[in-house]
Amino acid sequence: MAVVSTPATLERALPAMDNAEVLRIRNDFPVLNQLVNGQPLVYLDSGATSQNPVSVIEAEQEFYEQRNAAVHRGAHHLAVEATEVFEDARQTIADFIGAGYEETIWTSNATEGLNLISYALSNAALWAAQGRGDRGLRELALGPGDEIVVTEMEHHANLIPWQELAFRTGATLRHIPIDDDGSLRMDAAASVIGPRTKVLAFTHASNVLGIINPVQELTALGRAAGALVVLDACQSAPHLPLNVKKLDVDFAVLSGHKMLAPTGIGVLYGRQELLDILPPFLTGGSMITTVTMERAEYLPAPQRFEAGTQRISQAVALAAAANYLTETGLDRIHAWESELGQRMVVGLEAIPGVRVLGPAAGRERIGLAAFDVEGVHAHDVGQFLDSRGIAVRVGHHCAQPLHRRLGLTATTRASVYLYNTTDDVDRFLEAVAGVRAYFRA
């Protein structure tokens, strides 16, 4: 009997990534083929913003050249074509994260997605108090005595919206602490998450520590407490296979610019039954059924949360980025990045005066490493590396509480992606080894 190959079996059949393949991949990324300060560019800042392959650039350009029109608004040929490619892109992203079509909402970025959830939940209390909307809203409404739980390692985008939700509703914000190595204290998590927890929000992978959190273990604690579970997948969706249904989360967010797509596009996943009863965040055109001078009735998700003119070309480009990652193989990408990440950590730990945050060498992490150089400010480290053509991130990486917990104000962060080679890492390590001598630290 003939064996039919599925995408999964095809991916397993592909060999592991190596430098030769990565060098071919680099040809798809025009920006990488340049000199910076007279040196070939080594781009190690994909954790902040990734680069775009030609296929993604061409997908957005082709939209503007061939079918630029407003979606869901016209009956003419261009409008119909624009709507088709726009909604096809939604289905592509839904498949990419294991979500339903109606559960996939376009946002400007992950930050907007998290704010959308936060404001929808505070609006739930207002609607429930006035007897408006579905009866299930009362269960989602927060008030005094309720608790919102985050972790000590969160990006500000997954912290401040919950701080503000607590302020608006009178709920209490609590957090799960970390150990000195940055790992979540799961013993503490079991006591922090309890009967009063209404929302549990946490990052899948830390943008500073590189740690991959135990999503299913945390979700189980949230489920036992009856809490809504919100996953920040910004640092996981671009780098490893993601299935929101298997992870059993209620909401998840990601940003396109971290996964080969343009800026200005993100995704919110939400369970259908929750999206259809939550009040909208932004209101206006395109998300309504009936409007009078006194009130409006709203469409179900996803249109319920997509007011105004859409991010059409960016959504089309994000779908092209997802296809690029799928064709390359996310399992393979994750394995390659893990290899590069370990190479970075081993090399950094061997340099005197360098402290690496997060898991020690040999422990699982995504392909990034944040570090402190004794006696040299992170900004100086970054400028020194830039003088050698090496692009890294410096600062607190939108995670001030985490840095404060670890006794630091800023670090330098190097992050790899599918277009980085072992030579990139070695050039980076060689440069870092010269930092303290250069600054006479």
Exposed e or buried b for every residue in 45-65, given b needs 16+ CB within 10 A?
bbbbebbbbeebbebbeebee
| Active-site pick, 398, 401, 422, 433 | 398
How confident is the model at residue 13, as a pLDDT? 62
pLDDT in single tens digits along all 441 residues of the chain: 233 333 444 445 689 999 999 999 999 999 999 999 999 999 999 999 999 999 999 999 999 999 999 998 878 999 999 999 999 999 999 999 999 999 999 999 999 999 999 999 999 988 988 888 877 898 999 999 999 999 999 999 999 999 999 999 999 999 999 999 999 999 999 999 999 999 999 999 999 999 999 999 999 999 999 999 999 999 999 999 999 999 999 999 999 999 999 999 999 999 999 999 999 989 999 899 999 999 999 999 999 999 999 999 999 999 999 999 999 999 999 999 999 999 999 999 999 999 999 999 999 999 999 999 999 999 999 999 999 999 999 999 999 999 999 999 999 999 999 999 999 999 999 999 999 999 998
pLDDT score recorded for residue 4: 33
- DSSP assignment of 188-238 equals HHHHHS-TTEEEEEEESB-TTT--B--HHHHHHHHHHHT-EEEEE-TTTTT
- Determine the pLDDT at residue 178: 98
Q: Does domain 63-326 have CATH number 3.40.640.10?
A: yes
Q: Which residue has the tokens 């009063």?
A: 196
What does the alpha-carbon distance between residue 318 and residue 332 come to, in Å, rounded to a whole number? Answer: 20
Other CB atoms within 10 Å distance of the CB of residue 160? 16
For the chain, the structural domain boundaries read: 7-51+329-438, 63-326
Torsion of the alpha carbons at 24, 27, 31 and 33, rounded to the nearest 10: 90
Cis peptide before 302 (omega within 30 of 0): yes
**β-sheet bridge partners, residue 394:** 412
C-alpha dist (Å) from residue 57 to 28, 29, 269, 318, 328: 10, 10, 25, 10, 17
pTM of this structure: 0.95
Determine the pLDDT at residue 354.
98
Identify the pLDDT of residue 249: 98
pLDDT digits (tens, 9 = 90+) for 176-217: 999 999 999 999 999 999 999 999 999 999 999 999 999 999
Structure tokens at 196: 């009063």
CATH of domain 7-51+329-438: 3.90.1150.10
Q: Is 398 a catalytic residue?
A: yes
